Structure 1
Amino acid sequence: MPVVAFADIGKAAKGLLGGDKATGTFQFDPKVSVSSTTSSGVSLTASATQKADKVEATLKAAYSTKKYSVDVAIDPSSKVTASASVSEVAPGIKLSLSTVVPDPKTAKLTLDYSMPYLALKSTIGLTATPVVDLAASTGYQSFVLGAETSYDTAKSALSKYNVALGYHAADFQVAALLADQAKTLKLSYAHNLTPVSTVGAEVTRKLSSSDTTFALAYARKLKSGALTKVKLDGTGLLSALYETKLTSGEKIAGSLQLQATDLSKPVKYGFAVDLA
């Protein structure tokens, strides 16, 4: 089995606290999405999100096979983000190319290499003075160790370096990340208490100032199939999510957020509707 990639160390806690498909994502701006798949296998998604008095609409198209994938997205500013990838160029190697039109400076080439005890990811900007990103991880059984760095050729200097250590068991994950050029320490934990309930936590400490923040979250899937999640951070901000799928296929999610330490502050809420 391939080793866990650097970006996936502590993935369960990242998803629970930050949002993912398995545990849901808090949505505090009204959002409506319409998804469909053509007979040729192209997936189309149109979405509209209201932010203040503006509505931001995006259109995405994706096509993938076992070896190839192509994604194109158009944002409200008419920028087109395009990416394409080819898997198994050689054993364990995947190549990807991405760019934002009309800015050629955003073009990047990414190489992913995966094998049982090593995972590498290298991204290089296709410019005269590119930024080169490199991430690597290795592991044994449930332990994984990884590091990532960025080298700015224009400045001839490292612009980023992070180190992570994780333990990924079948029902829980623990991870420690030393980030921001060794200025920030993050400790995260996620545990599947039962097949339908998950709890997680993250503690972040700024080593230069000794400032510490934390966040706790709990997600549970109800018998009806609906998903619920609550999250509390160190400032007393409490967020709640309820997500369900109708028998006709539509997915509806509602979120609210309040300041638990000061109930006089206005409650923030939003919803998301996905029409498949």
Structure 2
Amino acid sequence: MAAASSQPVPPSWKDIGKAANDLLGKDYPIHGSTLEVKTTTPNNVAFKVLGVRDSKDNKISGDLEAKWTDKKNGVNFTQAWSTANVLKNHVELENHIAKGLKLELITTLIPDKQTKNALIASTYKQPGFHTRQHLDLFKGPSVTADAVLGRDGFLLGTEATYDVKDGRLSKYNLAAAFHAPEYAVALHALSNLNVYTASYYHRVNADIETSARATYDTKGPASNVNLEVGTKTYLDNAAFVKAKINNSGILCLGYTQALRPGVKASLGLALDTVKLSDNTAGADAHKVGASFVFEA
């Protein structure tokens, strides 16, 4: 019998079903245009500038982030400032008190509104076990905790939020999954076990990946299950195309190309196939966008 230490560390709660979620959710820049620039200095300070133009209201927003990393001592310090005048600080300490333990302090300040928030978080990872907790000091206060157990590819996870002021559980979720190198399946019971999702991911071969996700809301219309299927095809080692469609007739297409090392461009298109022949369809029926990433 294999020793317990031979078991890998399972993914965190938010990463259960990640392969399917990424295939169906990422690389479709259909809501506007984004430009992201990443640079790193010789003394391990990483800068990131992100600009976004929303095609719906044509508003432009942006973020400036600086992150200092000391890998030897397991310390990260991140500061961010957005065009909405939101100031954010994030301090991470990893493997200081115990191996596999990470402590975090996340603070947010909006000077114009005198709004502030602070989170104290911890993550503990060991073979076969992954848990996270965070205390929201100004909202509630509330404590959110999740845990994932894993063995031989099987995963079982749970998440719950406890409202300290009201003295009750305000949120609880469950998940079960199986992860293998070429495929993964996941079941989620969310929103206090009122919303159920089932997803799968399959790497068919080195060039093709597929995924599907079904969602059922017990408080929504009777017998209404939302279904979404998608695929990703690698054209070569520098480009891929993605496509997905749901049962509402929304077809999304994505194309990503690495133009050169550190430069990536993505194009996205969303079509409401139900309204293709409808001349009265509004501007929101079809969407197009682009994303550019520069990294040095």
Per the normalisation by structure 2, the TM-score is 0.86
Q: How does 1:8-47 map to 2 (within 5 A)?
A: 8-19=15-26, 24-47=27-50
Q: Does 1:62 align with 2:81?
A: no
Range with bigger deviation, 264-273 or 172-181? 264-273
Q: Secondary structure of the residue that 1:13 maps to in structure 2?
A: helix
Q: Is the Cα–Cα contact under 8 Å of residues 133 and 145 in structure 2 kept in the other structure?
A: yes
Is 1:178 matched with 2:186?
Answer: no
**Which range is displaced more, 122-131 or 170-179?**
122-131
Q: Deviations over 1:126-150 (max 9, x none)?
A: 3495110010111211101010000
CA distance in 2, matches of 1:27, 1:151: 36
Moved over 3 A (4+): 102-105
Q: Quick one: percent identity of the two aligned structures?
A: 25
Distance 1:244 1:106, change over 3 A: same
- The 1:94–1:258 alpha-carbon spacing in structure 2 relative to 1, beyond 3 Å, is same
State the Cα RMSD in Å. Answer: 1.8
* C-alpha displacement of 1:224: 5.2
Do structure 1's residue 144 and structure 2's residue 155 form an aligned pair? yes
Q: Distance in 1 between matches of 2:24 and 2:33?
A: 20
Contact 2:251–2:271 at 8 Å: present in 1 too? yes
Deviates more, 1:42-51 or 1:24-33: 24-33
Unaligned 5+ runs, structure 2 = 1-7
> After alignment, is 29-38 or 167-176 more displaced?
29-38
Equivalent residue letter for 2:59: K
Correspondence 1:71 to 2:78: yes
1:185-229 per-residue CA deviation (whole Å, 9 max, x = no partner) reads 100100111122210010000123432101111111112521211
Once residues 224 and 12 of structure 1 are traced to their aligned partners in structure 2, the CA distance between those partners, rounded to angstroms, is 19
Q: What is the aligned counterpart of 1:255 among 263, 268, 289?
A: 268
> How many correspondences in the alignment?
272
- Confirm or deny that 1:201 pairs with 2:212: yes
Q: 1:186 to 1:38 in 2, by over 3 A?
A: same
Q: How does 1:88-107 map to 2 (within 5 A)?
A: 88-89=95-96, 90-102=98-110, 105-107=116-118
> 1:195 aligns to what SS in structure 2?
coil
The farther-off stretch of 152-161 and 206-215 is 206-215
Report if the CA contact (8 A) 2:29-2:288 is conserved: no
* CA shift for structure 1 position 76: 1.5
Of 238, 247, 269 in structure 2, the residue corresponding to residue 234 of structure 1 is 247
Whether contact under 8 Å (1:31, 1:48) holds in the other structure is: yes
One-letter code aligned to 2:47? L
Q: Structure 1: which 5+ runs fail to align?
A: none
Measure, in 2, the Cα distance between the counterparts of 1:129 and 1:239. 39
What secondary structure sits across from 1:91 in the alignment? coil
Task: Determine if contact 1:34/1:46 at 8 Å carries over to the other structure.
Answer: yes
Corresponding residue for residue 167 of structure 1: 178
2:290 counterpart of 1:271: yes
One-letter code of the match for 2:271?
Answer: L
Return the letter of the residue paired with 1:270: G
> Amino acid of the residue matched to residue 292 of structure 2?
V
Aligned counterparts of 2:35 and 2:10: Cα–Cα separation in 1: 37
- Rounded Cα–Cα distance in structure 2 between residues aligned with 1:233 and 1:65: 44
Q: For residues 225 and 286 of structure 2, what CA distance do their matches in structure 1 show?
A: 25
CA contact (8 A) 1:105 1:125 kept: no
Please give the residue correspondences for 1:204-223 in structure 2 after superposition, counting only pairs within 5 Å. Answer: 204-209=215-220, 210=222, 211-223=224-236
Most deviating of 153-162 and 171-180? 153-162
